Chain A
């Protein structure tokens, strides 16, 4: 017998880990299905792609923040590095001669396809995390958060000054538009599986132990620095992939595209959904995207009873702030908290020993109140 559960504790064995990963993938599948339906409407295409990219971004953020408890203000820096590295790698050689004439030889002479560009973006961001992590991950609490903000400021300024590589503060253009629906949502599936596997691995458990009680984790032989570093590097990789997808969707961007507004967006999505879990990251991204798009529509004017109603411009951004405050007041752990959709297998009772099948696969996850609470759909 197989059933679907929403719970926050680690599955007890390898089979359970596979089930938990499958559960997260199922949640991603529901999101993909909805996205696919909307994608058919031409005006929605870009929104659906941006949504998928944001979901990857928020999951990248969640892998670090959820497992280590350190609120990062720096993840947009990894997105920026992923976008520039992936974008430059994907740009055709002929375009590079025009757009980036001063690019060093090796970079100027190569161009790669969509998938390698994603890996280049992810790897560049992971490398940055690996280099800065040993210093940053020694800090805890507010000091760590502010240090990650410092990382964002430094990276943003370096990108704005490294003119031969980035065109400085001006827009980098000429990145091929390779990002497709399949590209985004297949990446999302891989990223969801990767982060679920990490969360339920020994490394993820150690990171959460350090999050809750560093002294006790060290007394059990856990290295605070190393456990945080793995989460940091993996989350940077995922965030970098999101950046490379973004670059190949928009085709033109500047260092300013990856700054405070983008940071606020990611934080709002993560907090609304629940920073503790992957399922929450998906839900939060969906909720904020819908609110954002509806308000943006109203900003540009909607006819109500024959009269064009215009909301004051900027209201969609202000709404993010309101959503954040409301969540932190009423539901600080987010809509889903640390709970995850998990597929659980149970030894079948003798009477109903039939072929196992996934029960209620299309039933959307149900929010629970407390982490130990469990909502199940059983057949």
Chain B
């Protein structure tokens, strides 16, 4: 897989090391009629960084991704991308300014082909991407063989790759992966790990990875953040996370 590099075209703003992170969420609060899914959560993601977001079921991880991608609006707090306030920006605006995502439950355009799915992703690009780039993406994600197949007829693992290809087609600055390894076998998970490394190193994207596979998350992340009941209870080195009594308690309490 590493033979064909993941193409990238947008010239990048400075990577990690610059003071302002690429994506910054401060004090995000999201309520669903009585239930507070996010309770003052913060998040910072730098360009070229892989951040793992973990936490028990229902702790608000997907909600946080939805708020960043614009599928949901936060009730309080602020979201900034590259210094610009995007708290009130529409979903389409956020996509065009470089936020791409995948979904916990696959959301592919089922009646369209693999190539068409990826072409729609191109819509989010700032215009620099081209059709050749789509072909390059299909190749690097091993999708060229099935490019003309209707996506709903393909295996689950392949569909997961299509979703990532679609997100990458918009040449994003921030990539939000919501449980990308769910439903994958060991071989596919190893492949995914390598892919995330490539995306980070060759595209300079900031990548947020949510997953319940701790081997995966702790293995690929530069940093992790643990959510519990909508609050950040740990932020720091991956190896240290499960040495924190609060984190262990959150996971045990959720059993």
* Contacting residue for B113 out of A10, A218, A370, CB 8 A: A10
Q: List 15 A-B contacts (CB under 8 A).
A: A7-B148, A9-B115, A10-B113, A10-B119, A12-B115, A205-B112, A205-B120, A208-B109, A209-B120, A213-B109, A216-B103, A219-B95, A220-B170, A222-B120, A223-B92
A contact residues around B108 at 8 Å (CB): 212-213, 216
Contacting pair B120 A206 (CB below 8 A): yes
Closest to B96 in A: A221
Quick check: is B160 within 8 A (CB to CB) of the other chain? no
B contact residues around A220 at 8 Å (CB): 95, 100, 120-121, 123-124, 166, 170
Q: Count A-B pairs with CB separation below 8 Å.
A: 94
Contacting pair A9 B116 (CB below 8 A): yes
A contact residues around B71 at 8 Å (CB): 215, 218-219
Quick check: is A8 within 8 A (CB to CB) of the other chain? yes
* Cα distance, A215 to B148, chains bound together (Å): 23
Closest to A8 in B: B150
Closest to B169 in A: A220
Interface positions, chain B 69-91, Cβ under 8 Å from A, are: 69-71, 91
Residues of A that sit less than 8 Å from B by CB: 7-10, 12-13, 202, 205-206, 208-209, 211-213, 215-223, 276, 338, 370-372
Given contacts A10-B116, A205-B120, A206-B123, contact A219 B111 (CB under 8 A): no
Contacting pair B92 A218 (CB below 8 A): yes
Contacting pair B120 A13 (CB below 8 A): no
Given contacts A208-B109, A208-B112, contact A221 B150 (CB under 8 A): no
B130–chain A nearest beta-carbon distance, Å: 12
* Cα distance, A317 to B73, chains bound together (Å): 51
Given contacts A215-B107, A220-B95, contact A209 B112 (CB under 8 A): yes
B2–chain A nearest beta-carbon distance, Å: 26
Quick check: is B252 within 8 A (CB to CB) of the other chain? no
Given contacts A212-B112, A217-B109, A219-B101, contact A372 B120 (CB under 8 A): no
B contact residues around A10 at 8 Å (CB): 113, 115-116, 119
A221–chain B nearest beta-carbon distance, Å: 3
* Contacting residue for A213 out of B100, B110, B123, B131, CB 8 A: B110
A contact residues around B121 at 8 Å (CB): 220
Contacting pair B120 A217 (CB below 8 A): yes
B contact residues around A211 at 8 Å (CB): 111
* Cα distance, A349 to B71, chains bound together (Å): 50
Quick check: is B149 within 8 A (CB to CB) of the other chain? yes
